[in-house]
Amino acid sequence: MAVDVSNSRKRKPVGTAALFGGLFAVMAGAAWITGGAMPVAAVIAGGVLGGLLVFGAVIDSHKLYIPDRVSLGLFPLGLLATWHFDPAAVWIHALGGLTAGLFLLGCDLAYRRLRGRSGIGMGDAKLFASAGAWVGPAALPGVLLIGCLSAIALLLVRRMEGDSRALSRRLAFGPHLSLGLWAIWLFGPLSWV
């Protein structure tokens, strides 16, 4: 059976528009739920953040890498958003982001020493650094916790579905970090972390 590839290509802009529309609807809903306490700039920033995170997550889940235009591009956008909402926190967010990226690189070096292979991609470290630019260093443990719990849940589901190699296969961690970052951006830092 032949598959019409040309038709699927025509649908991509519609899917992208629907994705961004859905993200902005979520942000508008969050603004409405908070009684209008969420400013329009936060709705726009959250929509842009969500859109770029989904874009990077989709690519990572298919190709096991996060494009630099997403992972690195989010860093200055996060600092710009921070400057708009809390100018005094820009340097703290920048330092927190850089430290976060170095932390994941250190984890990768330690894993590489123990296992003889890389365990964390450079895109994940860059994305985690960008998370620091968006939510600040105090919220980063929550981003990482949500990301790790999400990844573990996915692996357990795959294992329960009968994939005996689920725990030894490479896993795209970008979608899970993206989930953690967007959840913390929307709802704030986890108070118990």
Lookup result for tokens 């005094």:
88
**Which of 116, 113, 108, 110 is CA-nearest to residue 173?**
108
DSSP string, 31-80: HHHTTT-S-HHHHHHHHHHHHHHHHHHHHHHHHS---HHHHTTHHHHHHH
Backbone angles phi and psi of 127, in degrees to 5: -65, -40
136-145 pLDDT, tens digit per residue, is 999 999 999 9
pLDDT higher at 173 or 158: 173
Lookup result for tokens 């994940």:
124
pLDDT at residue 23, rounded to an integer: 63
Residue type, 17: A
Q: Would you say 45 and 103 are in contact if contact means Cβ atoms under 8 Å apart? A: no
Give the global pTM: 0.81
What DSSP state is assigned to residue 169? S
Q: Would you say 166 and 155 are in contact if contact means Cβ atoms under 8 Å apart? A: yes
123-171 pLDDT, tens digit per residue, is 999 999 999 999 999 999 999 999 999 999 888 888 888 877 877 788 8
Structure tokens at 132: 């620091």
Q: Would you say 170 and 144 are in contact if contact means Cβ atoms under 8 Å apart? A: no
